Structure 1
């Protein structure tokens, strides 16, 4: 059987905190779960160039972690 990978982002800045605790994706046939946290780009501060550099760094970190976990394509 072909393996499938699902990426789910549960962060939503507009979601009320009361609801946040009760919502979590559930996949009954999933073999496992890997949790990775990254800085929220909305919380970055600095000049436009500094923020863009940080966004690119976060993007690259996400790519590195995905490649390390699932193999580079």
Structure 2
């Protein structure tokens, strides 16, 4: 699963790729996505979730939140 962010304002009208991916998921956003990830994970051997909201360090912070929500291991 690849997560690009949900910033509709900058997605189409961004001046640069950095602007397009400048969006940090809230914990509520990630909590809403967690059941979908868990449903996929039940049917496959390994599940990868990639955060492509790569502005500054927001992806790294979101990975930590999602891992905590899913009780996931690295």
Query: Common fold, TM-score beyond 0.5?
Result: no
What TM-score results when the alignment is normalised by the length of structure 1?
0.30
Answer 1 or 2: which has greater strand percent.
2
Q: Which has the higher contact order (CA 8 A, sep 6+)?
A: 2
Answer 1 or 2: which has greater helix percent.
2
Of structures 1 and 2, the larger Rg is shown by 1
